[in-house]
Amino acid sequence: MALLIVAIFLQVFFRYVLNDPLTWPEELGRYLFVWIVFLGIPEAYRDGKHLGMDLVTSRLPLSIRRGMALVAEVLIAVFALLSVYASVDLIRLTFDQTAAVLQIPMAFVYLAFTLGFALIILYTVYGWRKTGDPSPGQHLYGLREKEGGLPSAGPT
């Protein structure tokens, strides 16, 4: 994150103060942002920080909420697995392609996508092994309280 801030600061400083823009900070900033996003997604998933609406699920019986949570977690894991599988081909195809300014293989940029979804798979499996229940997002189904939040109001 610090490298992204420095790169963008340099770009703004050189462009607007010195009136002599650099070519590399914009591209570096773009690729660093991609990495930050795709590494942030699994971290938010692991910590249950993604947004969700529990208007309907919080009013359902606990057994149905658990079933819905399990289905949701399985679907997330399957989607992540398919994403990793598809992105491996993309990495293979783009390894010879280089970025316009930085001259790095584009496969390194696309690797962020693969790594992010691989981490989601690991966090899902780890959560199942550790708790026996789908771990991330349990608060969305009223299966556990959010940190610092109110308990779910649905029937148990």
Q: What pLDDT band is residue 140 in, cutting at 50, 70 and 90?
A: low
| pLDDT at 46 > cutoff 90 | no
* Predicted confidence (pLDDT) per residue in 61-72, tens digit: 888 888 888 888
- CB-count exposure of residue 147 (10 Å: 0-12, 13-18, 19+): exposed
| pLDDT at 144 > cutoff 70 | no
| pLDDT at 132 > cutoff 70 | no
| pLDDT at 34 > cutoff 90 | yes
pLDDT score at 145: 52
The domain locations on the chain are: 40-141
Contacts of 10 (CB under 8 A, 6+ apart): 22, 25
| pLDDT at 89 > cutoff 80 | yes
80 or 66, greater pLDDT: 80
* Predicted confidence (pLDDT) per residue in 95-116, tens digit: 999 999 999 999 999 999 999 9
- State the average pLDDT over residues 133-156: 50
58 or 26, greater pLDDT: 26
Find the helix packing angle between 24-46 and 106-131, rounded to 10°: 10
Q: What pLDDT band is residue 150 in, cutting at 50, 70 and 90?
A: very low
Which pTM value belongs to this model?
0.76
